């Protein structure tokens, strides 16, 4: 019975992962067809997940989670259910950008390392990938900010009947460059934060959620995704786009400053 519950849980993790990947183009890249992948995968994963948790609790002869893995699985179930209910009520998959990756992260250890407390991820390769992905996300944000500033300068010159700055593309192209830079950076930031969270969970434990760098990093992730959503659905550009990008870049600087006081950021190799 326990082995079957573990199998159902692993299937649920894989389905949530597929859904989390499909939500990105559906919500951020204006690819509504990906909804037909994200929503069925989430619903099916939720079913497998519920059956797995019910079988696990039944085999352990208690009705509520009592250990760490069961609690993580329950929280992941709630996050996935929140995404499904939000879609059924409001017909939007945007919350899945945040809810589904969190669900996957919470389920990794219970699904694939049920006998241990931590995943064997602390190695130079994973740390390097974590750093590279986050640096790519920060670079994309900087490119978007600088491009938005150029858009603003060019727009002002044209409004004042002055000659356009040489070497710059049309305003529409400049705006698309800024937006596509953000769209490139979001998956990089998501992957970097997921890897970093798994690494920190191993080296520090659950208390890593109280670390200032971790809290600011997730705030940056939420702000980054919100900025993309606002730009995609409100047509934000020009001065307001510069202000929004500048605010997010200030959050990046705050995350960098928090590194100096963070005990989580200093990983140690085995």
**CB neighbour list of residue 40: distance below 8 Å, 6 or more residues apart:** none
pLDDT at 225: 79
CA distances from 104 to 8, 15, 72, 122, 234 (A): 14, 9, 10, 19, 30
pLDDT at 206: 57
pLDDT at 268: 45
Task: Note down pLDDT in tens along the chain; length 270 residues.
Answer: 457 888 999 999 999 999 998 988 887 777 889 999 999 999 999 999 999 989 888 887 777 776 777 888 888 898 899 999 988 888 888 778 778 888 888 888 788 766 655 555 555 577 778 778 887 887 787 777 777 777 777 777 777 766 655 556 677 777 777 778 878 888 888 888 887 777 766 666 555 666 667 777 777 788 777 777 777 766 666 666 667 777 777 777 676 666 655 555 554 433
pLDDT at 151: 75
Q: State residue 267 phi and psi, 5-degree precision.
A: -75, 155
pTM above 0.75, yes or no: no
pLDDT at 138: 79
With 0-12 / 13-18 / 19 or more C-beta atoms within 10 angstroms meaning exposed / middle / buried, residue 99 is: buried
Tokens linked to 88: 């059924």
Tokens linked to 194: 């997921």
In the chain, where the domains are located: 2-112, 124-259
């Amino acid at each position: 019975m326990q082995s079957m519950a573990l199998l159902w849980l692993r299937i649920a993790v894989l389905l949530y992962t597929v859904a989390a990947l499909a939500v990105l183009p559906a919500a951020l890249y204006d690819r509504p067809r990906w909804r037909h992948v994200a929503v069925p995968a989430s619903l099916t994963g939720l079913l497998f997940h519920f059956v797995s948790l019910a079988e696990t609790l039944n085999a352990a002869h208690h009705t509520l989670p009592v250990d760490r893995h069961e609690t993580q699985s329950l929280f992941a179930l709630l996050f996935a259910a929140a995404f499904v209910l939000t879609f059924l009520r409001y017909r939007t998959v945007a919350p899945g950008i945040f809810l589904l990756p969190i669900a996957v992260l919470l389920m990794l250890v219970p699904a694939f390392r049920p006998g241990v407390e931590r995943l064997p991820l602390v190695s130079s390769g994973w740390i390097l990938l974590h750093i590279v992905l986050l640096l790519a996300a920060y670079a994309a944000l900087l490119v978007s900010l600088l491009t938005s500033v150029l858009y603003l300068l060019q727009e002002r010159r044209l409004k004042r009947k002055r000659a356009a700055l040489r070497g710059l593309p049309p305003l529409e192209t400049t705006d698309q460059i800024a937006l596509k830079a953000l769209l490139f950076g979001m998956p990089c930031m998501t992957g970097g934060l997921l890897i970093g969270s798994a690494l920190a969970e191993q080296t520090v434990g659950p208390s890593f959620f109280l670390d200032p760098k971790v809290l600011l990093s997730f705030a940056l992730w939420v702000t980054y995704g919100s900025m993309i959503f606002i730009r995609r659905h409100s047509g934000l550009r020009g001065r307001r786009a510069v202000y929004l990008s500048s605010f997010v870049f200030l959050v990046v600087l705050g995350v960098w400053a928090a590194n100096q006081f963070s005990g989580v950021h200093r990983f140690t190799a085995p």
